[in-house]
Amino acid sequence: MPTFVIFDLEYTTWPGAMEQDWSAPGQLREIVQIGAVRVDEEYSVVEEYDTLLRPVVNPRLSPFFTTLTGIDQRSVDRDGLPPARALSDFLAFCRGGAVLSYGNDMLVLGENIGWARARGEKIEHSALTPGFLNVRPWLNAVAPATAGVNSGRLWQTLGLPRPAAPGDEHSALFDCHSIATALRHLSGTGVTLPDGLLRVSGVRGGS
């Protein structure tokens, strides 16, 4: 059965960082959490991936980040993996297939892989092998109410039942379930991903 991956990232941030595109000195988009779900062609979740990472340049989380995501310093210090290991594990989870995000999270992923390699750390598996695809422009076009809405609120904006997943918006795994819920709903109304967008995964296309 064809499957593909939906993933979401939470990364270091500070007040005003997003508006300034993380341009302040020392402010990098270091990944702190990777969430991913593997879904089948009906957009049903068949496997999950969820892990914390320990930032290197800014190992102390900002209070702003903790308030936004609910991820605290103690959890990261206790459970966070070294970036190279977590990134390698995530790429292995992708298994070379199609990987969707709601936004350009693949750019942040690439930044973090580059920083790890610059530190001399080895990343297992290639980030170029999976087909990384940003479905946000398409989704906002077919469901205009979602424009300006973050991934964790898609289910609510579309009037759907809350995803059966722990956490809330800005929790990477919950956000993945919210994206999957939105795609499953749109598929049920006859709106499917455009032909060719997921050709690599074998999932059916449509309008």
Residue-by-residue DSSP string for the chain? --EEEEEEEEE---TTTTTTTT-STT----EEEEEEEEEETT--EEEEEEEEB--SS--SPPHHHHHHH---HHHHHHHPBPHHHHHHHHHHHHTTSEEEESSSHHHHHHHHHHHHHHTTPPPPS-TTSSEEEE-HHHHHHHSGGGTT--GGGHHHHTTPPPPSSSS-TT-HHHHHHHHHHHHHHHHHTT--PBTTTTTTTT---B-
Q: Which pLDDT belongs to residue 97?
A: 84
What are the residue boundaries of the structural domains of the chain, listed by start? 3-188
Q: Which pLDDT belongs to residue 200?
A: 46
What's the mean per-residue pLDDT of the chain? 91
Average the pLDDT over 157-163 and give the result.
96
The model's confidence at residue 172, banded by pLDDT at 50, 70 and 90, is very high
Q: What is the pLDDT of residues 117-131, one digit of tens each?
A: 999 999 998 887 778
95-99, 142-146, 181-185: which range is least confident on average? 95-99
Q: Which pLDDT belongs to residue 205?
A: 47
Q: 3-188 in CATH: which number? A: 3.30.420.10
Average the pLDDT over 175-193 and give the result.
91
